[in-house]
Structure 1
Amino acid sequence: MTGRTAQQGRDEAVAALRRIAFLLERGQASAYRSEAFRAAAGSVERTPPDQVLALAAAGSLDDLPGVGARTAEVVTQVLRGARVEYLDRLEAELASSPAPVGPAAELRAALRGDLHAHSQASDGTTSIQEMVLAATSLGHEYLAITDHSPRLTVANGLSPARLTAQLEEIEALNRAVAPFSVLTGIEVDILDDGTLDQEPALLQRLDVVVASVHSKLRMDRAAMTRRMLAAVADPHTDVLGHCTGRRLTGGRPRPPSEFDARAVFDACAENGVAVEINCRPDRLDPPHELLQIAVDAGCVFTIDTDSHAPGQLDWLIAGCERAVQHGIGPDRVITTLPVDQLVHRPR
């Protein structure tokens, strides 16, 4: 140790492990690598500081659950006051990335939060608390937790009872993290007939409802249009999520769904439903031609990361770059609004 208490040393080691995980997630590394560092951070954080020091001195940090050779090396380097070479390399890679400039950078600076993020309650990798910690580190003022709805069983969608319990968890968390705001939300599945996959009384309680199509993506154009129009007309819908459902990368790329984009975006504009500009590298939805149709229809937008891990919250610039290519400024992006104006936005 170098003039620090045992607790300070342990806490700095935990912070280093979390930062590595964040940078790996941001850089689209395999989930296995980032999750290993997050698991180690949690294990070290739960261990009394003096025990962490003793294990490090004995070269036995890997006795802790979830701590392996690489993560033990990081903890040991931090406790010794040495440079963490692996972290330094990741930070250097980040620093070498071209910094955003011009209107895209200005739009990114105007964003106050993110309305589409998942926790481990559905198919995210971490707790709500971990997501909030990352959001605050990025300067966000709010973050909506939008886990999946019941029908999406492959993503462990939340039943009414589980969603109700999550609302209570978020209420308690908000008392601890104020003035940061954790918004209650859901990414609700748009069912085949356009109804929303959650009890209306529960949807009414939420701050943000992102409605997305996740099934029967090859439905014929007319039926898909009717389905989306019904969802957009639902008074609970705040945001139309990743509207085409396309996947650009991965083992099984997926073409965009087909629908009457002008009709759907006209309905969004009429009903005050924001069109999501999804920042995930594997989605980048809507495609440029549809994004221009939404602009011409007079829509408002939200720029969201659709994060499933904390480091992915730093993907907002991709959506900002796409937005400015179509002349979308801060006045048409609802996530530039302060939280009170956002949640009371007229529909």
Structure 2
Amino acid sequence: MVALLEPLEAPVDPVDALRRIAFLLERTRAGTYRVEAFRNAVKTVRALDPGELAERADAGTLQDLDGIGKSTAGVIAEAVAGDLPGYLGSLQDKAGGPLVDGGEELYAALRGDCHLHSDWSDGGSPIDEMVLTGVELGHEWMVLTDHSPQLRVANGLSVERLRRQLKIVDGVNRSLAGRFTLLKGIEVDILDDGSLDQTDEMLGRLDLVTASVHSKLRMNAGPMTTRMVAAVSNPRVNVLGHCTGRLVTGSRGTRPPSEFDARAVFEACAEHDTAVEINSRPERCDPPDDLVELALDLGCLFSIDSDAHAPGQLDMKAYGCERAERLGVPAERVVTTWEVDRVRAWAAGDG
């Protein structure tokens, strides 16, 4: 079950200290530059012999290494000395607790996540770091859903790149067999006519497909409704991602929701067993509360997802859980509370 990470205590490995700082910065939406300083330092430290790291810490030459600056050098030196780095301790005190009040019971019931990204598309960390953090948070399974080819700005995956990624996923599952499952997935673009931005053959090789609108968000309501109904009715689609496309806060500014007949779209979701995503990113908060209530009344399944683009953002599902619990969404209708075998069966149309 998903849970808050326990605070680190001294002694702490330098890599663990740097990773935890990056995680805490990410979950509180700190600037990318600050996060990258600690993620880059992790790469440098992992490549060093522990003896050399200790020698450099004693000699005060850590900053001579590529990727190590004043702040990261201080963290490393304190960790090597057997102390809890002061910056880590302060950050744990300020940013280590719950992200939001409410939703604790539903958050504790979560087992997985149907929407997250790696550096294969527009995420900031490699697959193994996303997986390692997911395991540390108590996930039993997650679905890797990097973008599809049309979304070039997000480095969407071509057929060939997706094939290569699936082999990586197989390797992850071999190494973690019995402990954690990484499901094969994609966040596929819903094209203008409601078709999907990936070949049917490749979609058929995936465990789960999240489908989202990323282009022509201001399309007239009639064509947008037709577009979305076609997508959620497609047997390859399992989750409708961030359905309105709105932005309510954040560095990208705000964006109004797309216009469409939500009743028609959610009725199609209910008919075809497609889950409506409750996207937990604070800048999206999508769907709005009234649409969550409509989907609930119409009998839809839900997927509370992080849409994480960095490891620390996996914890953002707390925001979605608060909304879902407050709006009366029962845990049994949230697919991210299900065991992995049930998720697989449902996504394959067998459950």
TM-score category (smaller protein): over 0.9
Aligned to 1:180: 180
For 1:10 and 1:169, locate their aligned partners in 2 and report how far apart those are by CA, in whole Å: 33
Q: Indicate conservation of the 8 Å contact 1:277/1:319, yes or no.
A: yes
Aligned to 1:196: 196
Aligned to 1:236: 236
Q: Report the alpha carbon displacement of residue 45 of structure 1 after superposing the two structures with TM.
A: 0.6
Q: Report the alpha carbon displacement of residue 57 of structure 1 after superposing the two structures with TM.
A: 1.7
Change beyond 3 A, Cα 1:270–1:257: same
Aligned to 1:130: 129
Deviation string, structure 1 residues 258-306 (Cα, Å, up to 9, x no partner): 0000000000000000000000010010001111111111100000000
Aligned to 1:70: 71
Aligned to 1:341: 342
Q: Indicate conservation of the 8 Å contact 2:195/2:230, yes or no.
A: yes
CA-atom RMSD, angstroms? 1.5
Q: Report the alpha carbon displacement of residue 106 of structure 1 after superposing the two structures with TM.
A: 1.2
Aligned to 1:4: none
Deviation string, structure 1 residues 137-196 (Cα, Å, up to 9, x no partner): 111101111000000000000000000000001101111122200111100000000000
Q: Report the alpha carbon displacement of residue 324 of structure 1 after superposing the two structures with TM.
A: 1.5
For 1:95 and 1:171, locate their aligned partners in 2 and report how far apart those are by CA, in whole Å: 33
Aligned to 2:156: 157
For 2:278 and 2:313, locate their aligned partners in 1 and report how far apart those are by CA, in whole Å: 15
Aligned to 1:43: 44
For 1:98 and 1:53, locate their aligned partners in 2 and report how far apart those are by CA, in whole Å: 36
Comparing 298-307 and 53-62, the one that deviates more: 53-62
Q: Indicate conservation of the 8 Å contact 1:148/1:186, yes or no.
A: yes
Q: Report the alpha carbon displacement of residue 10 of structure 1 after superposing the two structures with TM.
A: 11
Q: Indicate conservation of the 8 Å contact 1:10/1:52, yes or no.
A: no
Q: Report the residue type matching 2:189 in the other structure.
A: D
For 2:100 and 2:285, locate their aligned partners in 1 and report how far apart those are by CA, in whole Å: 20
Q: Report the residue type matching 1:212 in the other structure.
A: S
Query: Is it true that 1:207 corresponds to 2:220 in the alignment?
Result: no
Q: Report the residue type matching 2:283 in the other structure.
A: D
Q: Report the residue type matching 2:165 in the other structure.
A: Q
For 2:126 and 2:100, locate their aligned partners in 1 and report how far apart those are by CA, in whole Å: 30
Comparing 263-272 and 289-298, the one that deviates more: 289-298
Deviation string, structure 1 residues 83-129 (Cα, Å, up to 9, x no partner): 3111011100135657745xx21111111011100000000000010
For 2:114 and 2:271, locate their aligned partners in 1 and report how far apart those are by CA, in whole Å: 21
Aligned to 1:307: 308
TM-score by length of 1: 0.94
Q: Report the residue type matching 1:288 in the other structure.
A: D
For 1:74 and 1:255, locate their aligned partners in 2 and report how far apart those are by CA, in whole Å: 42
Change beyond 3 A, Cα 1:96–1:138: closer
Aligned to 1:106: 105
Q: Percent identity?
A: 53
Q: Indicate conservation of the 8 Å contact 2:144/2:186, yes or no.
A: yes
Change beyond 3 A, Cα 1:120–1:309: same
Change beyond 3 A, Cα 1:68–1:95: closer
Aligned to 1:34: 35
For 1:227 and 1:116, locate their aligned partners in 2 and report how far apart those are by CA, in whole Å: 21
For 1:202 and 1:111, locate their aligned partners in 2 and report how far apart those are by CA, in whole Å: 28
SS of 2:332's equivalent in the other structure is: helix
Q: Report the alpha carbon displacement of residue 335 of structure 1 after superposing the two structures with TM.
A: 1.1
Q: Report the alpha carbon displacement of residue 82 of structure 1 after superposing the two structures with TM.
A: 2.1
Aligned to 1:147: 146
Q: Indicate conservation of the 8 Å contact 2:12/2:82, yes or no.
A: no
Q: Report the alpha carbon displacement of residue 252 of structure 1 after superposing the two structures with TM.
A: 2.6
Q: Report the residue type matching 2:245 in the other structure.
A: G
Aligned to 1:227: 227
TM-score by length of 2: 0.93
Q: Report the residue type matching 2:51 in the other structure.
A: D
Q: Any unmatched runs of 5+ in structure 2?
A: 1-9
SS of 1:114's equivalent in the other structure is: coil
For 1:278 and 1:228, locate their aligned partners in 2 and report how far apart those are by CA, in whole Å: 17
Aligned pairs for 1:325-336 (under 5 A) are 325-336=326-337
Q: Which has the bigger relative contact order, CA under 8 A and spacing at least 6?
A: 2
SS of 1:205's equivalent in the other structure is: coil
Q: Indicate conservation of the 8 Å contact 2:99/2:316, yes or no.
A: no
SS of 1:113's equivalent in the other structure is: coil
Q: Report the residue type matching 2:221 in the other structure.
A: R
Aligned to 2:245: 245
Q: Indicate conservation of the 8 Å contact 2:12/2:83, yes or no.
A: no
Q: Indicate conservation of the 8 Å contact 1:269/1:299, yes or no.
A: yes
Q: Report the alpha carbon displacement of residue 315 of structure 1 after superposing the two structures with TM.
A: 0.9
Aligned to 1:88: 89
Q: Report the residue type matching 1:168 in the other structure.
A: K
Change beyond 3 A, Cα 1:77–1:208: same
